[in-house]
Amino acid sequence: MDTFDFTGDRLNKFLEDGYLVIEGFYSPETCDRLRQECSRLIDDMNPADHRTVFSTQDHEQMKEDYFLTSGDKIRYFWEAEATDDNGELNRPKHKALNKIGHALHFLNPEFEKATFTPELEAILRKLQFKKPAIPQSMYIFKQPRIGGTVTKHIDATFLESTPSKLTGFWVALEDATLENGCLHFAPGSHRDAEVTYRMVRNPDKNAKQTLLFEGEFHALGDEKFVPVPVKKGSMIIIDGKVQHMSAKNVSDKSRHIYTFHVTETHESEWSQRNWLQPHTPFPLVYERTAR
């Protein structure tokens, strides 16, 4: 990557705004390779093995279990509009997925190679990470016409640690535009922000609902948000506490992206109430990059 630089003004801009675009973080070839690898995974996948919409009373529970046990697997999540009342896909499988999660970054060699890079390590060192790890990754499709809205949120709602130190990395594998659902940010909303809203495991093990939301999210008004369209290959670095969202894809073009989150593990405690619990330790960035 020729244009890599995360010092001085750029670092300050990230600290000020809570997000930063780095153009050309992935080459067009890397973007295409990841898209092809993802397409190959879908070729080999049988939708019947990953159908989490069932016409039974317990389907919500089954959906939750499929999600909750996906931390160390490559799993497939469908767009709500892509299934009919019986849970059957109403379009080809390649056009029906919302996302793949949550362990592409350590189970798939192509994604692993594109994740644990010297450039990532350099950014994390500038952000004072001592022992960063990657708890999750996602490939998000934002399919033409049906790719759903992601409402205003902060990422720390979903991945809590004490103290909280979470940074998201989001790479456009094709152009993200105003029409196909680019990200929108509320610049500066991370500063002095508290995590007041959390998605947690239900302490009542017998309850039907295994996940709960606790607290309240104080979403800023629409006028505080700015759209951030980016070119293919651009990386957006995202503070865990900055408010962001994306609109529904109303265009005929998809908006494929690859994203992962980095958390500090040095003198830090991962919340046992997080949906995502490590079966084996989360992969450490500096160790993997040095291999």
Nearer to Fe ion, 184 or 232 (CB): 184
How far is the C-alpha of 252 from the C-alpha of 195, rounded, in Å? 36
Phi–psi pair at 213, nearest 5 degrees: -105, 130
Per the listing, tokens 């005929």 go with 252
Beta pairing partners, 83: 89
Cis peptide before 281 (omega within 30 of 0): no
Tell me which stretch binds Fe ion (CB under 5 A): 9-17, 113-121, 151-159, 204-212: 151-159
Q: Which residue is nearest to Fe ion (CB)?
A: 155
Q: How many residues bind Fe ion (CB under 5 A)?
A: 1
The CB-of-244 to Fe ion minimum distance in angstroms stands at 6
Q: How far is Cα 180 from Cα 90, in angstroms, rounded to an integer?
A: 21
Structure tokens belonging to residue 213: 């939301």
DSSP conformation class of 230? B
Give min distance, CB of 42 to Fe ion, in A: 23
Complex with Fe ion: residue 155 or 239, whichever CB lies closer: 155
Position 155 contacts Fe ion (CB under 5 A): yes
Q: Which two tokens stand for residue 1?
A: 């990557």
CB of 18 to Fe ion, least distance (A): 12
Report which DSSP code applies to 54: -
Taking the least distance from each CB to Fe ion, the nearer of 133 and 156 is 156
Per CB under 5 A, which region of 28-36, 56-64, 111-119, 148-156 contacts Fe ion?
148-156
Nearer to Fe ion by Cβ, of 97 and 242: the residue is 242
Residues in contact with 94: Cβ distance below 8 Å, sequence separation at least 6, in sequence order: 39, 42
> Residue 270 in 3-state DSSP?
strand
Of 2-10, 149-157, 191-199, 218-226: span binding Fe ion (CB under 5 A): 149-157
Question: How far is residue 154's CA from residue 181's CA, in Å, rounded to a whole number?
Answer: 17
Measured in whole angstroms, the distance separating CA 87 from the mean position of its chain's CA atoms is: 25
Residue 143, both tokens? 């399919």
Considering only the stretches 20-28, 153-161, 171-179, 215-223, report the one whose residues sit in contact with Fe ion under the rule CB under 5 A: 153-161
The DSSP symbol for 266 reads: T
- The minimum distance between CB 106 and Fe ion, in angstroms, equals 21
Spacing of C-alpha 132 from chain mean position: 17
CB closer to Fe ion out of 155 and 264: 155
Q: Minimum Å distance from CB 155 to Fe ion?
A: 5
Applying CB under 5 A, which part among 4-12, 16-24, 155-163, 193-201 lies near Fe ion?
155-163
* Residue 20: both structure tokens together: 């930063």
Choice between 53 and 230, CB closer to Fe ion? 230
Residue 239 binds Fe ion (CB under 5 A)? no
For residue 243, the minimal CB distance to Fe ion (Å) is: 9
Binding site for Fe ion (CB under 5 A): 155
